[in-house]
């Protein structure tokens, strides 16, 4: 099972690395991302990028964003490029196919997020070398690493679920984008519709500035969400259904 | 393409044993029967040609046999495993080239095969040797590092066939394997398939629209139409079951008045006649004996009596009920007979 899971993850990674015209395209895309998120942002924010709660939010956002960029391709891409049936006709078990694809998206998003954090630290220490050196407080770093991993996993689970049911990558991307937009609008809607509930929630979340509380509360929510998404995806994954829908 | 690596295979028993196999789909409230009570027993180590027009249910049948779809009714054992409960074991022992080549465009040819070799747990030391063996066999080794998406259709088809054979499956499903191949490559593939069956006792389940190809390479043929298996057997069995109502007779003395008398006496229709040869349609089912007797009674001399052998194309067209096409094909087949025989 582990071997099959790693095989699927290996294939997904190879495909990702070949997007955009091989090695040159991959390197250019990576340089653009690093320039924007690893250099420009930390440079503009300065030491606060390291010493405050910013890295936690940054790592959560970037990991989820990177996952969201590739996860629509997971099953919808196979369906669109007519490779799904051959994949399903292989000996790879259902769980390896599903978890392998989730793991590939998760690892891609998480590693990209970590890379951006690392480059960000270097950038701030170079641009503010007179005031430095700077490094993340241990609990902040730990919270950023754990929450980024959980956010990436939740996004991978949600994305795979959407991709399973979509005919094309475009359709999956649109569905995922709509879902994320609604999720981002939810606080504003809640604040309008039920201001008391929303304020209580905000108070609860922000009852302390300690990253530990953010870690436990947001982390618990993300774990719960991930488990629900994984269970639903596992339940909806059926070779016959995937073929009939394609 | 190499020798067996995973021990001797069980040669006894059936590769496919389907009884009353059916599959229905419900589309927009309408129930559609894609596969309708198929009975099929296919021995191991044979090439089975599965023929039928587009939409006949061939793809659905393959999906059922691979355990990708569950039958609505009936039972199927593939390589001794039940498709309902042991689909994973079936897929482990099968290779498939389906409707689409299923290649990953972004991956190189080598990576495509590497992925499936890993999926089938080929040991590391065997993996690279086997991939090289197949790529060299199909003349693709020099392009192994090119993305499959940049390849021509024929090259992709070869790569997809290599993928289907990579793990030395016991049963291979090949959906239109020679589509897109040049004639030399198609002939080479047919030789490969025969060699696989001969040396490794692989069972090949082949769909094709190329009836001449099926006639050349298949040990057994099944003809599917509207989800029903209209005929199944060896080509000789199908021919003898279908028979032919056309008879060619050579001799002497076939004059118009004698032939008119024969027609009146036997209900035979003389299609074409010369002084030394005639071609007649017998009332079905009938033997040629009454016609020969009548000709002799009229004073004709008989040298040779020969029944037309129906081609697979004629059998196919008559079974799928396309009467217009069948007539056209029969006409063209008759013309071929005509051109090949002096005096007719």
Query: ipTM score here?
Result: 0.86
Q: Which of A1, A13, A91, A169 would you mutate first to test chain B, the one with the most B CBs within 10 A?
A: A91
Length of chain A: 246
Query: Global pTM?
Result: 0.80
Contact between residue B51 and residue B224 where contact means Cβ atoms under 8 Å apart: yes
What are the φ and ψ backbone dihedral angles of B193, each rounded to 5 degrees?
-65, -45
What are the φ and ψ backbone dihedral angles of B228, each rounded to 5 degrees?
-105, 140
- pLDDT (tens digit, 0 to 9) for every residue of chain B, 344 residues total? 544 443 344 444 899 999 999 999 887 788 889 999 999 999 998 999 999 888 889 999 999 999 999 999 999 999 999 999 999 999 999 999 998 899 999 999 999 999 999 999 999 889 999 999 999 988 899 999 999 999 988 889 999 999 999 999 999 999 988 887 888 888 888 888 888 888 878 899 999 888 888 888 899 999 999 899 988 988 888 877 766 677 889 998 888 888 888 888 887 888 788 888 888 877 766 678 888 888 998 899 999 988 777 778 877 887 776 544 444 443 443 333 333 332 22
Q: What is the tens place of the pLDDT at every residue in A188-231?
A: 888 888 888 777 777 765 555 566 777 777 888 888 988 998 89
Tell me the three state secondary structure of residue B110: helix
CA–CA distance, B32 with B283 (Å, rounded to integer): 38
Length of chain B: 344
First-to-final CA distance of chain A: 26
Q: What is the CATH number of domain B14-236?
A: 3.40.50.300
From the centroid of its chain, how far is CA B154? 21
* Residues spanned by the domain of A117: 2-245
Residue A92 sits at the chain B interface (C-beta within 8 Å): yes
Alpha-carbon Rg for chain B in angstroms: 25
What are the φ and ψ backbone dihedral angles of B281, each rounded to 5 degrees?
-105, 125
Is B243-339 assigned to CATH 3.30.70? yes
Torsion (CA) A13, A17, A18, A22 in degrees, nearest 10: -160
Chain A residues in contact with B66 by the CB 8 A cut-off are: 89
Comparing CA positions, the residue from B10, B16, B40, B57 lying closest to residue B226 is B57
Chain B residues in contact with A87 by the CB 8 A cut-off are: 102
Structure tokens at B248: 């060619």
Domains in chain A: how many in total? 1
According to CATH, where is 3.30.70 located in chain B? 243-339
Least CB–CB distance from B98: residue in A7, A11, A89: A89
According to CATH, where is 3.40.50.300 located in chain B? 14-236
CA–CA distance, B326 with B284 (Å, rounded to integer): 17
CB pairs under 8 A between A and B: 72
Q: What is the tens place of the pLDDT at every residue in A59-104?
A: 998 999 999 999 999 999 999 999 999 999 999 999 999 999 999 9
Beta-sheet pairing, B203-207 with B47-51: parallel
Chain B residues in contact with A2 by the CB 8 A cut-off are: none
């Amino acid at each position: 099972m582990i071997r099959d899971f790693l095989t699927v993850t290996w294939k997904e990674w190879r495909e990702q690395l070949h997007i955009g015209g091989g090695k040159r395209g991959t390197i250019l895309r990576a340089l653009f991302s690093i320039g924007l998120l690893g250099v420009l942002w930390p440079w503009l924010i300065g030491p606060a990028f390291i010493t405050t709660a910013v890295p936690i939010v940054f790592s959560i956002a970037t990991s989820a964003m990177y996952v969201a960029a590739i996860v629509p391709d997971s099953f919808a891409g196979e369906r669109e490029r007519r490779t799904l049936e051959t994949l399903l006709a292989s000996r790879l078990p259902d769980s390896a196919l599903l978890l392998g694809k989730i793991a590939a998206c998760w690892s891609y998003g998480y590693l990209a997020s970590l890379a951006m954090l690392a480059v960000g630290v270097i950038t701030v220490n170079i641009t503010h070398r007179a005031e430095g050196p700077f490094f993340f407080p241990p609990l902040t770093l730990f919270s950023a690493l754990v929450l980024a991993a959980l956010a990436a996993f939740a996004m991978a689970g949600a994305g795979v679920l959407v991709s399973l049911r979509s005919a094309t990558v475009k359709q999956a991307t649109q569905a995922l984008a709509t879902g994320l937009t609604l999720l981002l609008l939810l606080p504003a809607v809640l604040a309008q519709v039920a201001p008391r509930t929303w304020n209580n929630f905000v108070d609860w979340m922000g009852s302390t500035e300690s990253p530990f509380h953010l870690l436990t509360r947001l982390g618990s929510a993300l774990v719960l969400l991930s488990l629900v998404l994984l269970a639903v995806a596992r339940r909806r994954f059926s070779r016959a259904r995937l073929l009939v829908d394609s | 393409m190499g020798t067996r690596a995973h021990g001797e295979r069980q040669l006894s028993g059936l590769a496919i044993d389907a009884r009353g196999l059916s599959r229905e789909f419900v589309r927009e409230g309408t129930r559609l029967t894609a596969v309708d009570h198929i009975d099929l027993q296919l021995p191991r180590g044979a090439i089975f040609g599965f023929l039928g027009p587009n939409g006949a249910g061939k793809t659905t049948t393959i999906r059922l046999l691979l355990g990708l779809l569950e039958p609505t009714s009936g039972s199927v054992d593939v390589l001794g495993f039940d498709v309902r409960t042991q689909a994973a074991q079936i897929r482990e022992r099968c290779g498939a080239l389906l409707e689409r080549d299923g290649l990953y465009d972004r991956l190189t040819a080598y990576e495509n095969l590497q992925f499936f070799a890993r999926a089938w747990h080929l040991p590391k030391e065997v993996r690279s040797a086997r991939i090289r063996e197949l790529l060299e066999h199909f003349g693709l080794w020099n392009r192994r590092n090119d993305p499959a998406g940049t390849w021509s259709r024929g090259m992709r088809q070869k790569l997809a066939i290599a993928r289907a054979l990579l793990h030395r499956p016991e049963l291979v499903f090949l959906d239109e394997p020679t589509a897109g191949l040049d004639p030399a490559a198609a002939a080479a593939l047919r030789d490969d398939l025969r060699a696989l069956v001969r040396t490794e006792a692989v069972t090949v389940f082949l769909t094709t629209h190329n009836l001449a190809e099926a006639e050349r390479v298949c040990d057994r043929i099944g003809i599917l139409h509207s989800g029903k298996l209209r005929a199944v057997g060896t080509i000789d069995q199908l021919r003898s079951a279908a028979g032919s109502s056309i008879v060619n007779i050579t001799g002497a003395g076939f004059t118009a008045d004698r032939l008119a008398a024969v027609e009146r006496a036997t209900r035979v229709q003389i299609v074409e006649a010369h002084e030394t040869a005639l071609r007649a349609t017998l009332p079905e089912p009938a033997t040629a004996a009454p016609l020969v007797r009548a000709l002799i009674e009229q004073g004709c001399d008989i040298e040779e009596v020969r029944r037309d052998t129906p081609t697979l194309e004629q059998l196919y067209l008559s079974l799928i009920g396309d009467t217009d096409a069948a007539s056209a094909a029969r006409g063209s087949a008759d013309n071929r007979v005509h051109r090949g025989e002096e005096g007719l």
